[in-house]
Structure formats: C-alpha cells, structure tokens
Amino acid sequence: MHLSRFAITLVVFFCVLVTFIYTSPGLANDQEQLVHISAQSALLLDVANGQILYDKNDREPRAMASTTKIMTAVVALGGADIKGTVTVSPRAAAVGESSMYLEPGEKLTLEQLLYGALLRSGNDACVAIAEHVAGTEESFVLLMNEKAVLLGAEATSFRNTNGLPAQGHYSTAYDLALLARYALHDPAFCRIVKTRAQVIEGPGGISHYLKNTNKLLWHYPGADGVKTGTTEAAGKCLVASATRGDRHLLAVILNGSDRFADASRLLDYGFGEFKAVQTVYAGAVYERVNVTDGVSDTVPVKALDDITVDLRVDGTDRLEKKIKLLRNISAPVYDGQPLGKICVYVNGIQVGATNIVAGCTIEKTTLWQKAARIMKNACSKNL
C-alpha cells in the first residue's frame, strides 16, 4: 500500500521539469529596441533553467548546416565508448566539402573523430562516427531523429549526420537550443566544443591540425562553445555558449549576415540586462496542508528543488509563485511524498516548477486513537 500510493502520486506530478525550455512567445518584439539581430532566426536562453531571454522567429523551420553535428555528437556520446577505435571506411573518407581529410583504413578513437567533427567541422568524421556507432550513416540518422523526438525537438528532421543540403533536413532556433542545452550537460561534449585547436596524429606521420571554426572562443570573454554552420541554403549559422560566474547562456543564430556579432550582442544582452535570482529553496517549508485520518491534522510541505530565474536588472519584471496541491489528502502520508507543485511566473509566463513534497510522515490513526481524540474533544467542549 505504501509503495502504490507513493508511485501513483509520483506519476501525477512527474510532469515537473520535463519541459526543457520555458517559452515566452513574441518576446523579441518587445526587445528589438534593446538588441538588434540581423539573423532570420535567433534565440537566447539560460542553460541552467531553460528560460528564454530573447526570441526571433525561433519556431520557423530552416536549414541549419553543420549545427547538425551537435546531434551527431549527442548520439555518439550516448551510444559508444569515446575511447573506442574507429576504422575509417572508403565511403567516409570520400565525403567532401568541409573535411578533416581522413584516409581509408585510418584508425582513430571516437573522441578524436568528435574533435574533427566539432572543431574542424569534418563531414568525413561524421560519417565515420555514424558507421562506427550504428553500422551505416542511414541507421545512425534514424537514431538522431529518435533522439530529437525524445528531447521534444518536434520541428526538426535529420537526413544526414553533417548538415550538407538535403530535402527534409531542417530545424528551428528553438529546437537547436533545446538540443544544445541537452548536449552541454555532457562533460565530454563541453570539453570538446570549448577547445580552440587540437592536433591528431595521422597516417604516415602526417598530423590532422584541427582549428575550431567558432571565432568567439578567441574574441568573446567566457565563450565556451558550441558549433558553427554554413551552407548556401542555411546561410551563416552559429550556436554559441558563454559562462560568466555562475551564469551560462546559449545563443542560436540562423542565417545571419554576421553570426559572431549577432551572438555577441545576444550574450551581452543576457549578461547585462538580466540577473539570476533564486526564488524557491529546496527543503524550505512553504505551508501546512490539512490531512484527514492522520495522527496529525496537518503536514508541512516543502520544495523538492531550488528554482532560480532570470530577472531584469531594472526591476521591471513581475514575479509570482503559485502552489498547486492535491485535494483531499488522507493519511498515511510519507516523508518526501509528492503532494503538488510550486510554479514560478515572470510577467505571467511560467519559467520554473518543482514538486512540493511532504516534510514528514503522518501515520493513519487507529480506531483507539480516533476514539481517544473524540473523547478529548468532547471533554474540551464540556469545560
């Protein structure tokens, strides 16, 4: 009985934090006067909490070029040993356009190929990765699309691993932000995308020199990723991240005339115009709620997790917290049992949520305890 009650309640409220990015439709219309972005689509979010700070046509599907390789890395890191040895096939070596110039039969580790894909933007490296992980590039692309669905990237479709032009290969600024935010929780991914340059030994004593195509790593304070992309169809694209203090921001630029300037302006806007404010504290008791048939008539409820949101430094944002509780709570109630959730809103838009849980166990009253309580209440009335 204990486990079933707890499990049912947990399922009811497991929706908390399943949403990966908290959205604010039309936000950019109010912010264009503060930061001008040339790109056709753009988005800025806080990596820690997923709160969107700027958006411009962020749900508009378009070609995304080599920013595709973010998902290639996500699937590879989740599906194979990063230190495993990969033998480059003739098909992989023959892939053109942007390349790290692999040779057929060359042996590298998966990690080295990821450096080639994410720094040098090697299309050949992507195919070699795909064949190693899934047997063929086509099978690997199926895994990419499956992962996109799992992560909620509903307006994304992959047809290859590298972003070369293909019918039905597209994404949105919103979806790319979602995928990149997920990727940035992987330490190996973070280590690779913040690397400015890497030298990898090749066959015959010839080395692969890999220089990161993301110029922000040299020119923007705190820049630590992520990936560029350029094709005629997609224009100039960039997914860029930067960290200052305890704040980590992510900017997405699709089809911009000056992607690095656009990303710099967005990141400056996020760091300069907003501050992180903790609004909910894990373990803090927020109220007591009534319990029927328990040894106590009430139970304290506390927040399961911290919630930190981004607020404008000028103090113009309106902050609200709302607690939503289960109705008709009856004993037994167990310490840590979900009883509702607390939601945080900025300017009427939900930007964070966490479960509200019982702060202690309230046992069910026995028949003797009920009788004793009735007698006690009766005596109190007679006095």
What residues are annotated to the active site? 66, 69, 121
Q: Which of 346, 220, 366, 360 is nearest to 285 (CA)?
A: 360
Nearest to 251 by CA among 233, 236, 269: 269
Q: For residues 120 and 214, give the distance between their C-alpha atoms in angstroms, rounded to a whole number.
A: 10
Closest CA to 21 of 224, 252, 256, 214: 252
For 221-249, give one letter per residue: b (16+ CB within 10 A) or e.
Answer: eebbbbbbbbbeebbbbbbbbbbeeebbb
The SS3 of residue 265 is: helix
Q: How far is CA 325 from CA 322, 340, 355, in A?
A: 10, 4, 10
Helices (H), 55-200: 69-79, 90-93, 110-118, 123-134, 137-150, 173-183, 187-193
Residue 7's DSSP bridge partners are none
**DSSP category for residue 59:** T
- Confirm whether residue 370 is marked as ligand binding: no
298-303 vs 349-358, strand pairing mode: antiparallel
Tokens of 231: 């094709």
Closest Cα partner for 305 from 270, 274, 344? 344
* Tokens standing for residue 340: 């509702």
Neighbours of 173 (CB within 10 A): 31
The binding site for substrate comprises 227
